[in-house]
Amino acid sequence: MSGLEDLYREIILDHYRSPRNRGELDSPPAVRVEGFNPLCGDEIVVYLDVDDSANGDAAVVTDIRIGGQGCSISQSSASMMSAAVKGRSIGEIRDLTKSFKSMMSIHEEGLDAETEPQEDSAGAELKLGDLEALRGVVKFPVRIKCATLGWNTLQQGIDETLS
């Protein structure tokens, strides 16, 4: 089952077993947003505390909590995301989100061309850290939506914070 081991890397299962930043924040003041995957019924709730003493992209996510339920991929991705974005500025989170999503789409293109895009993946690896473990998801296109559910929900929360 080599394909499966690409999908379910040990660190993914670790985050699934022991999700980081699991729980709720009082809302308000925290922003609370829900994300749904209508295909499989997965639900993610993201709570964000944002210190907006600095404006726009310089504002900092001081705390984050994740609620909801779903498969190992959606839950572990959201868990890793929460660890990666806590204490980061909105601008940094935007870059991270872009890197994560491009890791998914780079591989979609890579599969089409049957080549591995070496340079880009190495660059993404430096920034993404643990999240790199989700790279194998792109070999299972149906699961990409699971992996990006938390990120899209986070994006929605940031948009609400800034508006």
Partner 1 sequence: MAIDQSEVEQHVPGEFDVLRIKSDFPILSRTVHDKPLVFLDSAASSQKPRSVLQAMDTYYETINANVHRAAYTLAEEATNAMEAARSKVAAFIGATDANEVVFTKNATESINLIARSWGVANLEPGDAILLTHLEHHANIVPWQQLAAERELEIRWIPLTADCQLDLSDLDSLLDGVKIVSLTSMSNVVGTITPVRAIADAAHAAGAVVAVDGCQSVPHMPTDVHQLGADFLSFSGHKLLGPTGIGVLWARKELLEAMPPFLGGGGMILDVRLDGFVAAEAPHKFEAGTPPIAEIIGLGAAIDYLNNLGMEVVRQHEVALTAFALEHLSNRFGERISIYGPQSAELRGGAMSFAFDEIHPHDLSQVLDQHGVCVRPGHHCAKPLMRLLGVGATARASWYVYNNEADITALGDALEAAGEFFSF
Query: Is 8 a binder of partner 1 (CB under 8 A)?
Result: yes
**Minimum CB distance to partner 1, residue 17 (Å):** 6
| DSSP secondary structure string for all residues of 71-119 | -HHHHHHHHHHHHHHTT-BHHHHHHHHHHHHHHHHHHHHHHHHT---HH
Smaller CB separation from partner 1, 13 or 111: 13
Nearest approach in angstroms of CB 74 to partner 1 is 8
67/44 Cα distance (integer angstroms): 6
- Which string of x and - marks every residue 140-159 that binds partner 1 (by CB under 8 A)? x--x--x-------------
Determine, following the binding rule CB under 8 A, whether residue 11 of this chain makes contact with partner 1.
Answer: no
Q: What is the dihedral of CA 49, 95, 84, 29, to 10 degrees?
A: 0
As measured in angstroms, the least distance from the Cβ of 22 to partner 1 is: 16
- DSSP-assigned letter for residue 18: S
Binding status of residue 10 toward partner 1 by CB under 8 A: no
List binders of partner 1 among 108-147 (CB under 8 A).
140, 143, 146
Residue indicated by tokens 């149906």: 142
Distance of closest approach, residue 87 Cβ to partner 1, in angstroms: 29
Closest CB to partner 1 among residues 43, 92: 43
Residue closer to partner 1 by CB (options 41, 129) is: 41
Among residues 130, 123, 56, 125, the alpha carbon closest in space to that of 93 is found at 56
Helices (H) and strands (E) in the chain, counts: 6, 3
Q: How far apart are CA 110 and CA 81, in angstroms?
A: 24
Binding site for partner 1 (CB under 8 A): 1, 3-4, 7-8, 13, 17, 39-43, 69-73, 140, 143, 146
